[in-house]
Amino acid sequence: SHSVHRITSGQVVIDLQTAVKELVENSLDARATNIDVRFLNYGLKTIEVVDNGCGIAPKDYDSVALKHHTSKLAAFEDLATVLTFGFRGEALSSLCALSDGVTLTTATANEAPMGTILEMDRNGKLRNSNSKVARQRGTTVTISSLFKPLPVRRKELERNAKREFGKALNLLYAYALVPCATENRGVRLSVSNQPEGGRKTIQLKTDGSPSIKASVTALWGSKALDNIVDLDISFDVQTEKTVLRRLDQESAGVTTVKVRGLISKFAVGAGRTGSDRQYFFVNGRPCNPGKIQKAFNEVYRSFNVGQSPFIIADFILPTHTCDVNVSPDKRTIFLHNEQNLIQALKGALEEAFASSRS
Ligand code: ADP
Ligand code: MG
């Protein structure tokens, strides 16, 4: 039936957090250096992401929100080494199916300072592209009433609006730290919310510096750096043949893993750390590597009783040793030989913590 189609096509967007994530990733994929995320009423009314990226070319207006349309994948082999966040062409089509309306305003360098407004229908088809508006290069995507076509899910979102907004905001903190964690590209990210009948407030703002410490300062103030040291370790992981035939040849042997970021110092007063501020990335992708996070905290606590550290940790590993494509939300990243990796990580952390102590 129609609603079954909507649900299956909506897989990639499962909550407010993943909706926002997909939009921000599209802006990063478009090489934006300025990304402005605006929530109206905690995202219940609209979610809007404004960027100064490459824009969408007129020839793509018709297909941009169709299912499986993507401009990012040249060949199937690219799947193993894909460097953009998106590549499946599912986000915009999902958002069309799962909201009350998706509107894009876009201009490439050729059209700027004249932008075109693209109104999409629920199937991702272009309904109207006849309106023009002043627009610098870039794209604005506006999602109205997320989950309106699914009344149960909409109710749930309304009931938990602030909590869901909090989760989305936490993820945006991770994106505020991404580009500096991996590449030398500063991104100015700002996030605001305007509650119904209330005033707009800025939730977070980075200054576009490519330095990770500058981003930490922008997000939490310069005092946040007092208690933090560089995290810079590398270790070898024995990798075995994996079950994925495509990856066999490359992934047998030894892989060197680097971990870059920041971590709390030892022996600080209780209460100065925050397990709620732990951000993990694999090759610059924010992710939730549960077992790795657990390993970090275990080793840290064995040196510093009862405390969990502030952590920003970007795991830099060859793309063939991890697979970001397994979960629909791409938040869960599958690591081949994870057990070996965790053992090696623990050893490297113990060594680093022990030497920083003496
Ligand atoms: P994917 O990111 O997997 O390609 P999406 O559904 O997220 O799929 O986006 C579909 C296409 O729309 C992208 O491949 C891209 O060409 C275009 N697009 C979406 N958002 C933007 C943006 N902010 N700037 C430029 N192009 C965009
Ligand atoms: Mg995308």
**Can you tell me which residue has the tokens 């794209």?**
139
* Residue that terminates a domain, selected from 220, 250, 269: 220
pLDDT tens digit sequence for 151-194 = 999 999 999 999 999 999 999 999 998 755 455 578 899 999 99
Assess whether 6 and 153 both reside in one domain.
yes
Looking at residue 337, which CATH number applies to its domain?
3.30.230.10
Q: According to the model, what pLDDT value does residue 5 have?
A: 38
Whether the Cβ atoms of residue 52 and residue 33 lie closer than 8 Å to each other: yes
Which residues make up the environment of ion ligand 2, defined by Cβ < 5 Å? 26, 86, 91
Question: From the CB of residue 268, how many other CB atoms can be counted at a distance below 10 Å?
Answer: 15
Chain Cα centroid distance, residue 74 = 22
Distance CA 281, CA 171 (A): 11
Assess whether 45 and 81 both reside in one domain.
yes
Whether the Cβ atoms of residue 314 and residue 270 lie closer than 8 Å to each other: no
Q: How far is the CA of 309 from the centre of ligand 2 (A)?
A: 32
Assess whether 326 and 201 both reside in one domain.
no
Complex-level ipTM beyond the 0.95 threshold: yes
Residue to probe by mutation, ligand 1, list 92, 123, 143, most atoms within 8 Å of CB: 92
Task: Tell me the longest C-alpha to C-alpha distance in the chain.
Answer: 68
pLDDT tens digit sequence for 298-337 = 998 888 776 788 899 988 877 655 555 445 455 555 556 6
Q: How far is the CA of 64 from the centre of ligand 1 (A)?
A: 7
pLDDT tens for each residue of the chain, 358 residues long:
343 333 344 367 889 999 999 999 999 989 999 999 999 999 999 999 999 999 999 999 999 988 777 776 544 444 444 456 666 678 999 999 999 999 999 999 999 999 999 999 999 999 999 999 999 999 999 999 999 999 999 999 999 999 999 999 999 999 998 755 455 578 899 999 999 999 999 999 998 888 888 899 999 998 888 888 899 999 888 765 443 444 444 445 677 889 999 998 764 444 444 457 899 887 777 887 788 889 989 998 888 776 788 899 988 877 655 555 445 455 555 556 678 888 999 999 999 888 876 6
Structural domains in the chain (count): 2
Burial class (CB in 10 A: 0-12, 13-18, 19+), 48: buried
Q: How far is the CA of 307 from the centre of ligand 1 (A)?
A: 41
Residue nearest to atom 17 of ligand 1 (CA): 64
Assess whether 168 and 265 both reside in one domain.
no
Assess whether 168 and 293 both reside in one domain.
no
- Rounded to the nearest 5 degrees, what angle is found at the Cα of 57, between the Cα atoms of 186 and 105? 70
Q: Is the dihedral of CA 19, 23, 25, 29 positive or negative?
A: positive
Q: Which two tokens stand for residue 346?
A: 């623990």
Interstrand relation of 201-205 and 138-144 (parallel, antiparallel or unpaired) = unpaired
What's the domain range around 330?
A: 226-357
Assess whether 244 and 191 both reside in one domain.
no
Beta-strand (E) ranges in the chain?
Answer: 34-40, 46-51, 101-107, 114-120, 126-134, 138-144, 188-194, 201-205, 228-239, 253-264, 278-282, 285-287, 311-316, 322-323, 334-335
Residue nearest to atom 4 of ligand 1 (CA): 70
Ligand 1 atom with the smallest distance to the CA of 138 is 24
Q: According to the model, what pLDDT value does residue 217 have?
A: 92
**Sheet holding 201-205: strands in order across?**
126-134, 114-120, 101-107, 138-144, 46-51, 34-40, 188-194, 201-205
Beta-strand (E) ranges in 211-277?
Answer: 228-239, 253-264
Q: How far is the CA of 30 from the centre of ligand 2 (A)?
A: 10
Task: Show the DSSP H helices in 237-337 as ranges.
Answer: 248-251, 290-303
Distance CA 182, CA 259 (A): 10
Ligand 1 atom with the smallest distance to the CA of 91 is 6
Residue to probe by mutation, ligand 1, list 71, 88, 120, most atoms within 8 Å of CB: 71
Q: Is the dihedral of CA 82, 88, 91, 92 positive or negative?
A: positive
Q: How far is the CA of 147 from the centre of ligand 1 (A)?
A: 20
Assess whether 159 and 18 both reside in one domain.
yes
Residue to probe by mutation, ligand 1, list 26, 66, 92, 137, most atoms within 8 Å of CB: 26
Looking at residue 10, which CATH number applies to its domain?
3.30.565.10
Assess whether 32 and 175 both reside in one domain.
yes
Ligand 1 atom with the smallest distance to the CA of 89 is 8
Assess whether 248 and 214 both reside in one domain.
no
Q: How far is the CA of 30 from the centre of ligand 1 (A)?
A: 8
Q: According to the model, what pLDDT value does residue 166 have?
A: 95
* Residue that terminates a domain, selected from 171, 202, 220: 220
**Sequence letter at residue 321:** T
Distance CA 39, CA 18 (A): 14
* Residue that terminates a domain, selected from 220, 248, 283: 220
On whether the pTM is more than 0.90, the answer is no
Q: According to the model, what pLDDT value does residue 151 have?
A: 95
Residue to probe by mutation, ligand 1, list 70, 140, 285, most atoms within 8 Å of CB: 70
Q: According to the model, what pLDDT value does residue 142 have?
A: 98
Q: How far is the CA of 89 from the centre of ligand 1 (A)?
A: 7
Assess whether 85 and 159 both reside in one domain.
yes
156 contacts: CB under 8 Å, gap ≥ 6: none
Q: How far is the CA of 23 from the centre of ligand 1 (A)?
A: 8
Which residues line ligand 1 at a C-beta cut-off of 6 Å? 22, 26-27, 29-30, 51, 53-56, 64, 69-72, 86-92, 139
Q: Which two tokens stand for residue 216?
A: 């930490």
Distance CA 116, CA 132 (A): 5
Assess whether 215 and 257 both reside in one domain.
no
Assess whether 267 and 214 both reside in one domain.
no
- Pseudo-torsion of CA 248, 251, 252, 258, nearest 10°? -170
Q: How far is the CA of 331 from the centre of ligand 2 (A)?
A: 13
